[in-house]
Amino acid sequence: MIDDIHVSLLWAMAENRVIGRGNTMPWKLHTDMQNFRKVTMGKPVIMGRRTFESIKKALPGRLNIVLTRDASFQAKGVQAVQTLDDAFEIAAAQCLIDGQDELFVIGGAEIYALTLPLADRLYLTKIHADIDGDTWFPEFDRGEWREASRIEVAASDKDSHAVSILLLTRMR
């Protein structure tokens, strides 16, 4: 938690920790996308430049903060920053303005690795399959986290794989 603001990571991950392939998500999960929209709406989202490029546009209804080493990076509807401290400062200020108590980190792997030690909530969609990929979520000690909620979703025409949608909270 940073200044009474919850730092939350949100991602979908296969059993083998794959989170992407070729800067895309190698699955179709309508339920996960609905959950993503529901839990992040109205809250600041922090992402890396490649994640932003995979999304292709700013996410509506949320302050979009893009963390990049490229000081000249600009994109419509986003606030670009070069440091994680700047990203958190801007997100926390927006939370105060909007009366929110949570910011979201939404990718990619390098940004997750930087922020995982600071997080106190993990919103994980666990895909019940091993999937080929080139990007993995960093390893973390599941023993440090308590399962606060779980929703099971079967594979369907809208969801290519069965998933568990989990909310994990850090045990302190």
Q: Write out pLDDT tens, residues 148-172.
A: 999 999 999 999 999 999 999 999 7
Does the structure show a pLDDT above 90 at 101? yes
pTM of the model: 0.95
- Kindly report whether the peptide bond that precedes residue 107 is cis, defined as omega within 30 degrees of 0: no
Q: Write out pLDDT tens, residues 26-54.
A: 999 999 999 999 999 999 999 999 999 99
Structural domains of the chain in order of their starting residue, each with its CATH number: 6-170 (3.40.430.10)
- CA 40/CA 59 separation, integer angstroms: 10
Annotate 110-130 with three-state secondary structure.
HHHHHHHHHCCEEEEEEECCC
Is residue 151 within a helix (H) or strand (E), and if so which, with residue range?
strand 145-153
Does the structure show a pLDDT above 90 at 3? no
Q: What is the mean pLDDT of residues 56-83?
A: 97
- Spatial neighbors of 28 by CB under 8 A, at least 6 apart, are 158, 159, 160
- CA 169/CA 73 separation, integer angstroms: 34
Amino acid letter, residue 50? R
Quick one: pLDDT at residue 172?
A: 78
Q: What is the mean pLDDT of residues 140-151?
A: 96
Quick one: pLDDT at residue 1?
A: 66
CB count, 10 Å around CB of 7? 22
Q: What percent of the chain shows pLDDT beyond 90?
A: 97
